[in-house]
A and B are shown apart, each in its own frame.
Chain A
Amino acid sequence: MEAGGVLVYGVDAKEVEVLSRSLTPAISSDRLLVRAVLMGEDASREAVGLSARLVSEVFVIEDPRLGKSSPENLSQALAALAEACLPDLIVLAAVPPGREIAARTATRLRTGCVSGCRGVRFEEAGGVRAEREIFGGLALAEFAFRSRPAVVTMEITNPAPLSLDADQSAPLTTFTVALEPVAKEVKDIRAKENVADLSAAQRIVAFGRGVASKEDIPLIRELAEALGAEIACSRPIAEDLGWLSVQHQVGLTGTTVRPKLYLAIGISGQVQHIAGIRDAQVIVAINSDPTAPIFQVADFGIVGDLYEVVPALVGALKGLSRKGA
């Protein structure tokens, strides 16, 4: 079996595709070997149709014990495959299942793992370097791997689609592993109701501790409605006070958002919150404290009492829509 190159693990073909596409700009060599692996009961069916332009080979490990909720089993299989095909770099998605599989796989292989990478690349001499945010997004750290294989989880972005030749499917290679399966089981999955999908919202009105009481939230909702925006909040509002569910929480441990417009009302601008809004097109801050860090990351800011500014904004917006602007 060939050795070297990149091994991409995806929970399904789509994830493999997105990861492989995200990888290509960062790893510029056309001759770099990129292979993928899919696991689970329907792995070979899932693998059919992955483009040979993205990966040169797809390993298929078909085993009903390799279900989505079994990172212990999945990492055993991934480590076994890595010991057979000896990649220089293993890439998984920086989502909870991928993170867990990556950590256990790296442990099993006695190697290092860099999670939530923004970028990974091969050096001239073959070394692997990975870049990730630290301290809640305050800084970017670059790591070099001394061990092999390097294991990383990558933030999934939405790369520009390649024009793929549908006929050229990557060849499949069956791989079998001896598992020591874990007796963990998923008993039930309940979909959450009213899932606020902030990650897709185009306009967001978020509030923080500057809002003094739960009874004041309707004021914020009025502004959100006037803007056609989703409502959101900072960590203390959701996690500590429980005024809104954690689905509404924006920040490092909440949702990362990419709206056209983000209004931060009564939010001081802690680093972990900023980490979740950096890709917003326009950030507006309203805060009574002129020294609040939020103003450093805002495009437009108003230093003032939100209890005066927010109603004024609602009025101004309604005036705009009346004029048909």
Chain B
Amino acid sequence: MNIIVCVKHVPDPTEIRVDAETGALQVRSAPTKISDYDKNAVEEAVRIKERYGGAITLLSVGPREATKTLKEALAMGGDKAVLISGDWVDHLDPISIARVLATAIRKLDSFDLILCGDVSEDGFNAQVGPSLGEWLGLPHVTMVSKLEFDGDRLVAERDLVSATEVVICPLPAVVTVNRSINTPRLPTVLQVMRVPLSKIVVWSLPPIGLEEADFSLEKLPLSLLSIRPIAAQRRNVLFQGEPGQVAQELCKRLSEEGVL
């Protein structure tokens, strides 16, 4: 079972701060990491490999720093990694990211399954998985909480809001996983350090048959006009004192507000 896992290197959204003076978002200073949902995808791939054999190729479209994410994924059990990188990466919309991924995938060895997270932790668009399926002419299954195989088909459980759906889909297919599918193993710092950089191939666009000009700002379908931090407008009233007293005060206020 040869698997390609698409992973994204993201700024840690819990570390993004709003500059108090300018109101601007401080994204560049936030630490970066592998998107959690993709970690679940890597873990699932490793479990499938442990059961059925085969090879895992990790694929990412991102900045050079994404080698950090790929090393972590390799340490978890990936076999090789490919990073498509360049300055043009910054302003890609999800459909364009999926296009680059698909183009790279066509250059790789044959595969049975493509895995990635349902969403990325920074965009939360949930577009890349299905879009990748469309670019490659493959079916997709999303929100997968359990994945099994039956011959040349997959049997997936999907975690819908009020129901669990069981889907059968022929391989090859694109599967996006949710976070309840597994608990990812944690490679040690030493294990990650020991991953040789030679396991990561870094390509610009020409090696996969694309040009930077294809993704110039004028050619992309979407342009980002502005980003405005959303300011929370709440009263921020703090109750101080010993528990019995603050509890009484709070109840009184809530009663006055009519929310009790």
B228 at the interface (CB under 8 A from A): yes
Please give the distance in Å from A19's CB to the nearest CB on chain B.
18
Measured between alpha carbons, how far is A136 from B36 in the docked complex, in Å? Answer: 14
Count of chain A to chain B residue pairs whose CB atoms are closer than 8 Å in the complex: 251
The stretch from A3-11, A33-41, A102-110, A213-221 touching chain B is: A102-110
Measured between alpha carbons, how far is A69 from B123 in the docked complex, in Å? Answer: 25
Does B16 contact A135, Cβ atoms closer than 8 Å? Answer: yes
Among A102, A114, A316: residue with most chain B CB under 10 A = A316
B170 at the interface (CB under 8 A from A): yes
Please give the distance in Å from A272's CB to the nearest CB on chain B.
7
A144 at the interface (CB under 8 A from B): yes
Say which residue of A96, A103, A271, A313 sits within 8 Å of B94 (CB atoms): A103
Does A190 contact B163, Cβ atoms closer than 8 Å? Answer: yes
A18 at the interface (CB under 8 A from B): no
A308 at the interface (CB under 8 A from B): yes
Total contacting residues, chain A, CB less than 8 A: 88
Does B164 contact A300, Cβ atoms closer than 8 Å? Answer: no
Q: Is the interface of B mostly helix, strand, loop or mixed?
A: mixed
Which residues of chain A come closer than 8 Å to B194, judged between CB atoms?
none
Given contacts A135-B16, A312-B246, contact A75 B127 (CB under 8 A): no
Measured between alpha carbons, how far is A134 from B124 in the docked complex, in Å? Answer: 8
Please give the distance in Å from A287's CB to the nearest CB on chain B.
11
Say which residue of B98, B168, B251 sits within 8 Å of A107 (CB atoms): B98
Does B131 contact A103, Cβ atoms closer than 8 Å? Answer: yes
Measured between alpha carbons, how far is A119 from B193 in the docked complex, in Å? Answer: 46
Does B223 contact A138, Cβ atoms closer than 8 Å? Answer: no
Which residues of chain B come closer than 8 Å to A129, judged between CB atoms?
225
Does A139 contact B228, Cβ atoms closer than 8 Å? Answer: yes
Measured between alpha carbons, how far is A114 from B221 in the docked complex, in Å? Answer: 10
Q: Which of A223-259 contact B (CB under 8 A)?
A: 227, 239-240, 246, 252-253
Please give the distance in Å from B67's CB to the nearest CB on chain A.
23
B206 at the interface (CB under 8 A from A): no
A297 at the interface (CB under 8 A from B): yes
Which residues of chain B come closer than 8 Å to A192, judged between CB atoms?
162-164
The stretch from A54-62, A83-91, A158-166, A179-187 touching chain B is: A179-187
Does B246 contact A140, Cβ atoms closer than 8 Å? Answer: no
A111 at the interface (CB under 8 A from B): yes
Which residues of chain B come closer than 8 Å to A100, judged between CB atoms?
126, 130, 140, 142
Does B236 contact A320, Cβ atoms closer than 8 Å? Answer: no
A14 at the interface (CB under 8 A from B): no
B254 at the interface (CB under 8 A from A): yes
A189 at the interface (CB under 8 A from B): yes
Measured between alpha carbons, how far is A279 from B236 in the docked complex, in Å? Answer: 16
Which residues of chain A come closer than 8 Å to B13, judged between CB atoms?
135-136, 138, 271-272
B34 at the interface (CB under 8 A from A): no
Given contacts A104-B133, A183-B170, contact A300 B239 (CB under 8 A): yes
Given contacts A203-B259, A260-B259, A284-B250, contact A103 B127 (CB under 8 A): yes
B159 at the interface (CB under 8 A from A): yes
Say which residue of A138, A142, A147, A319 sits within 8 Å of B229 (CB atoms): A138
Which residues of chain A come closer than 8 Å to B94, judged between CB atoms?
103, 113
Which residues of chain A come closer than 8 Å to B168, judged between CB atoms?
184-185, 187
Which A residues are within 8 Å of any B CB, using their own CB? 69, 71-72, 75, 96, 99-100, 102-104, 106-108, 110-116, 129, 133-147, 182-192, 195, 203, 227, 239-240, 246, 252-253, 260-261, 270-272, 274, 278, 281-284, 295-305, 308-309, 311-313, 315-317, 319-320, 325
Which B residues are within 8 Å of any A CB, using their own CB? 13-14, 16, 18, 25, 27, 93-95, 98-99, 119, 121-131, 133-135, 139-143, 155, 159-170, 173, 179-180, 183, 218, 220-230, 232, 234-240, 243-244, 246-248, 250-251, 253-255, 257-260
Please give the distance in Å from B73's CB to the nearest CB on chain A.
19
Among B94, B135, B230, B232: residue with most chain A CB under 10 A = B230
Measured between alpha carbons, how far is A304 from B244 in the docked complex, in Å? Answer: 11
Does B123 contact A325, Cβ atoms closer than 8 Å? Answer: no
Minimal Cβ-Cβ distance residue in B for A185: B168
Does B251 contact A313, Cβ atoms closer than 8 Å? Answer: yes
Say which residue of B229, B251, B257 sits within 8 Å of A139 (CB atoms): B229
Does A143 contact B223, Cβ atoms closer than 8 Å? Answer: yes
Which residues of chain A come closer than 8 Å to B99, judged between CB atoms?
107
Say which residue of B27, B162, B218, B260 sits within 8 Å of A191 (CB atoms): B162
Measured between alpha carbons, how far is A240 from B186 in the docked complex, in Å? Answer: 13
In order of increasing CB-CB distance, the 10 nearest A-B pairs are A112-B221, A147-B221, A312-B247, A107-B134, A312-B243, A112-B222, A103-B130, A261-B259, A188-B166, A316-B247
Please give the distance in Å from A81's CB to the nearest CB on chain B.
16
